Amino acid sequence: MKPSDTPLVPENKQSADLTSIQHLILHGLRRLNQFDQPSVIDLLATPFGLGEREALIETLGVGEVDARIETEGTSRVYETTYRGVWVVDHGTAEGERLAYQIEITQVPDILLTQPEDLEESASRLAERLGDGIGVEAGESGEAISFNMPVLGFAAYSGAGKTTLLKRLIPMLREQGLRIGLVKHAHHDFDLDIPGKDSYELRKAGASQVVVASSLRWALVHENEEPSEPKLADALRRFDPDEFDLILVEGFKHVRFAKIELYRPSMGVTPIHPQDPSVIAVATDGEPPEEIALPVLDLNDLRGIQGFLMEWLEG
């Protein structure tokens, strides 16, 4: 759920009948229309009576848009017969239901093309046309180099970059490595909490705010004008003496050492044929063609860890 989305819950939390949920949906539609504020009803967390959830779904019906998205599992997203009311059902490859919710919005986030995918499409088309516009690299087109070990994990949205890194980072920490991370964010995001003093002071006009405690500190910087982040600028924020390795999620069309995550089931074009800075391909299937790069098993975390350690030592 996005930070801007508002969860809607029935006033009587003991049970949620069909009428009360429909009133919540009506309230959400009015709020979306008047204030452009999306909202969410969690169908798994809402305490429905016997058969009420199924009755609600049947009442809403299925509209003209009905999409299935295959990534690490299967997601079904469809607009109901009430425009702006969507049902989003996320599941794992093993059939476990991860999320089941009604989203009251113009278009659910999962159906929006992400900025990095738009940029990747522009880069691929530019390369086909012989125009290298849009690649962050040196003046002569060579790969950018940094003064500390930096390794990226590049893939299309939905390939599981975050899931992989969440499992891999603790394993690298066990090896004694000090890890930093850069993540490309697709939308407006906020690390602060509305209502807290630091949040209100920044919203009052402070362009930079440092929040510090005995456990951690954070710097929040407001760009005067919206602009796409540069990887080199983000890396300059790190102190090279405090890290052994910086991992990067995203920035896949920047020329720097990276491992490509490739899932044949997604039906997308591989990155490595157009990017000579890819050093290995981690896949859960067969690559579409023979390649000279090392091929790693995407499900073998120890194998990926071993490859990374060898690369770091080399």
Q: Is the pLDDT of residue 103 over 90?
A: yes
pLDDT tens for 171-204 read: 999 999 999 999 887 655 555 556 666 666 666 6
> Are 303 and 246 part of one and the same domain?
yes
How many angstroms separate the CA atoms of 236 and 221, rounded? 14
Range of lowest pLDDT (33-37, 201-205, 256-260): 201-205
Pairing label, strands 39-42, 97-104: antiparallel
> Are 171 and 65 part of one and the same domain?
no
136-167 burial string, b = 16+ CB within 10 Å, else e? eeeeeeeebeeeebbbbbbbbbbbbbeebbee
The kind and range of the H/E element at 54 are helix 52-60
> Are 261 and 205 part of one and the same domain?
no
* Tally of domains in the chain: 3
Q: Is the pLDDT of residue 6 over 60?
A: no
Kindly state whether residue 1 falls inside one of the protein's structural domains.
Answer: no
- Token digits for 291? 């390649």
pLDDT, position 305: 96
The mean pLDDT value of the chain amounts to: 81
> Are 128 and 220 part of one and the same domain?
no
> Are 145 and 292 part of one and the same domain?
yes
What percentage of the chain exceeds 90 in pLDDT? 37
When comparing pLDDT for 52 and 247, which is higher?
247
The arithmetic mean of pLDDT across residues 124-131, rounded, is 59
Q: Is the pLDDT of residue 150 over 90?
A: yes
Q: At which of 111, 146, 173 does a domain end?
A: 111
CATH at residue 295: 3.40.50.300
pLDDT, position 186: 62
> Are 29 and 174 part of one and the same domain?
no
pLDDT tens for 45-94 read: 888 888 888 999 999 999 999 998 876 678 899 999 999 999 999 888 77
> Are 280 and 178 part of one and the same domain?
yes
> Are 264 and 127 part of one and the same domain?
yes
What is the pTM assigned to this prediction?
A: 0.54
Residue 194's domain comprises 189-227
